[in-house]
């Protein structure tokens, strides 16, 4: 089936992704292993952001955890589409805890040596969307 | 069962109970000489430490308990690749309480998840060292008589010094605390501590570069070591290091009842010429470390 980049009949448009961030989100959403039609638009012009990335996913969303997106990039907006029209525009919810979605990059953290230890983060600052490792408390840096 | 992983694991009220008990122990150590008879403290030290390990062991022995453990990762099964989780599961069946020091940040928290005995963090990398904070608070409480209404100076390496971060986190919970942060630009407190702790809690603080000019304001001066390797170049180090050395001349600007604290080991940031100044209480502070740990062990083991 050809994906119509201009308009989806059912699916989601992930908009306002920081330019260059689309592939990371593609990977985190595990889209490479899911059977959706996906379009990635890089460096689209944006009045607000200058440049932005966009991902369009065609299909029902039952296999996709969109809340993860708030952890990765809290400026993202989600346009949910049914029957060719946007039925909802929203920002992803920020989960209080995330496990094995993002990894602690602190080389001094116990997660760097202890086997089978889940990488867990908690939301410590909702305004600035700061997630901290539950073990070493280092903030997750998106870039 | 409670674990002590971070200094803020104790509420102000729990902290107050522990400090009160520690002060009772100082007054009457004999009364507590056998309260932990038959109990064992495991000291799991994955990296060397003199003061902290000996202080924990002295604390348990003073309470009539016994000690077991290891003092480096080489002499433990960690050298065979055993995880912290497995080690603590086993140790839980040998001892009644444990103190763990580990070079990796968060290791004591991992231990606490898998432990069936209380776990005390005895230092995890550059992260937390709650019993040092307890020691600092006991020293201040006992020698100053209060933990509120104080102007506290921190001097030296405020960027990497975990004792400074922990004590700031603990002291912001008391009324009318002012901080004066004395360091070179390179070693200022981390942004998260300034923004998420000081500014977020509306705490009065200022950052300065010269110790002398703020000395008259201070009720407490907490000194830390400025390490040469923290600087980008030798020139900066030589230029700045003297500004952060406490000597007899600088002490002349201080209040008569100001106290000088230092977590030790000291290298050259406090001149030995002030060791006999009654305001220099860093060795007394090390002694209080034993009492603070005695009180903490008693509370965690729920012995009276």
Q: What residue spans define the domains of chain B?
A: 7-130+288-301, 131-285
| Residue B267 exposure: Cα atoms within 13 Å on the Cβ side | 8
Residue B301 has pLDDT above 60, yes or no: yes
Instruction: Establish if B103 touches chain A: CB-CB under 8 angstroms.
Output: yes
**Spatial contact of B110 and B85, defined as CB atoms under 8 Å apart:** yes
Fold equal for B7-130+288-301 and B131-285: yes
Q: Which residues of A touch B102 (CB under 8 A)?
A: 110
**CA–CA separation, B112 and B109 (whole Å):** 5
Both structure tokens of B145: 């008589």
Q: Do A114 and B104 touch (CB under 8 A)?
A: yes
**What pLDDT is stored for residue A29 in this prediction?**
86
CATH of segment(s) B7-130+288-301: 3.40.50.1370
Structural domains of chain A sorted by starting position, each given as residue range(s) with its CATH number in brackets: 11-90 (3.30.70.140), 97-133 (no CATH)
**What pLDDT is stored for residue B75 in this prediction?**
73
Element (H, E) at B89: helix B84-91
CA dihedral of residues A31, A36, A41, A47 (deg, nearest 10): -100
**Phi, psi angle pair for A91, to nearest 5°:** -95, 145
Q: Do B104 and A125 touch (CB under 8 A)?
A: no
A36 against B42, higher pLDDT: B42
**CA–CA separation, B245 and B211 (whole Å):** 9
Q: What are the pLDDT digits (tens) for B118-139?
A: 999 999 988 999 999 999 999 9
**Spatial contact of B159 and B187, defined as CB atoms under 8 Å apart:** yes
Q: How does pLDDT run along chain A (143 residues), one tens digit per residue?
A: 444 456 788 999 999 999 999 998 998 888 888 888 999 999 999 988 899 999 999 988 777 778 788 888 888 999 999 998 999 998 888 899 999 988 999 999 999 999 999 999 999 888 888 999 999 999 998 76
**CA–CA separation, B247 and B98 (whole Å):** 39
**What pLDDT is stored for residue B72 in this prediction?**
83
Among the residue ranges B42-56, B171-185, B227-241, the one predicted with the least confidence is B227-241
**CA–CA separation, B293 and B56 (whole Å):** 6
Reported confidence tier of residue B79, pLDDT bands at 50, 70, 90: confident
Residue closest to B182 by CA, chosen among B217, B209, B216: B209
Residue closest to B260 by CA, chosen among B225, B214, B217, B221: B221
Interface A-B: count of C-beta contacts within 8 A: 51
**CATH code 3.40.50.1370 for B131-285:** yes
Question: Which chain A residue has its CA at the smallest distance from B195's CA?
Answer: A125
- Give A122 to chain B, closest Cα distance, Å: 14
Claim: this prediction has a pTM higher than 0.90: no
Question: Which chain A residue has its CA at the smallest distance from B87's CA?
Answer: A114
Question: Which chain B residue has its CA at the smallest distance from A109's CA?
Answer: B105
Q: Which residues of A touch B107 (CB under 8 A)?
A: 110, 114, 135
């Amino acid at each position: 089936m050809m994906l119509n980049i201009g308009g989806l009949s059912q699916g989601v448009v992930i908009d306002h992704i920081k330019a260059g961030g689309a592939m990371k989100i593609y990977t985190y959403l595990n889209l490479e292993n899911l059977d959706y039609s996906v379009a990635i638009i890089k460096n689209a012009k944006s009045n607000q952001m200058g440049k932005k990335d966009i991902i369009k996913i065609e299909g029902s969303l039952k296999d996709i955890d969109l809340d993860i997106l708030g952890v990765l990039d809290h400026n993202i907006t989600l346009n949910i589409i049914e029957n060719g029209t946007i039925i909802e525009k929203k920002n992803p919810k920020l989960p209080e805890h995330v496990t094995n979605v993002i990894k602690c990059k602190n080389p001094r953290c116990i997660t760097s040596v202890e086997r089978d230890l889940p990488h867990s983060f908690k939301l410590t600052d909702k305004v600035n969307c700061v997630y901290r490792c539950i073990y070493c408390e280092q903030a997750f840096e998106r870039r | 069962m409670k674990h002590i992983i971070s200094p803020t694991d104790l509420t102000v009220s729990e902290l107050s109970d522990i400090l009160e008990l520690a002060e009772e122990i100082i007054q009457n150590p004999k009364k507590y000489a056998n309260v932990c008879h038959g109990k064992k403290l495991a000291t799991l030290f994955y990296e060397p430490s003199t003061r902290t390990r000996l202080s924990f062991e002295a604390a348990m022995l003073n309470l009539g308990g016994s000690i077991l453990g290891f003092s480096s990762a080489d002499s433990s099964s960690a050298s065979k690749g055993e995880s912290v989780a497995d080690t603590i599961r086993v140790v839980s069946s040998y001892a009644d309480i444990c103190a763990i020091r580990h070079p990796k940040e968060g290791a004591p928290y991992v231990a606490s998840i898998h432990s069936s005995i209380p776990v005390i963090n005895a230092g995890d990398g550059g992260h937390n060292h709650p019993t040092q904070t307890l020691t600092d608070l006991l020293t201040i409480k006992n020698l100053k008589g209060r933990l509120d209404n104080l102007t506290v100076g921190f001097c030296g390496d405020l960027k990497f010094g975990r004792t400074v971060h922990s004590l700031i986190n603990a002291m912001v919970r008391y009324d009318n605390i002012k901080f004066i942060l004395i360091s070179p630009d390179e070693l200022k407190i981390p942004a998260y501590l300034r923004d998420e702790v000081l500014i977020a809690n509306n705490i009065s603080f200022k950052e300065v570069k010269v110790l002398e000019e703020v000395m008259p304001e201070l009720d407490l001066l907490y000194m830390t070591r400025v390490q040469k390797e923290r600087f980008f170049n030798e020139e900066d180090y030589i230029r700045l290091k003297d500004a952060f050395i406490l000597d007899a001349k600088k002490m002349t600007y201080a209040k008569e009842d100001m106290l000088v604290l230092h977590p030790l080991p000291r290298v050259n940031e406090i001149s030995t010429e002030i060791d006999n100044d009654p305001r220099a209480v860093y060795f007394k502070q090390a002694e209080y470390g034993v009492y603070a740990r005695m009180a903490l062990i008693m509370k965690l083991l729920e012995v009276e």
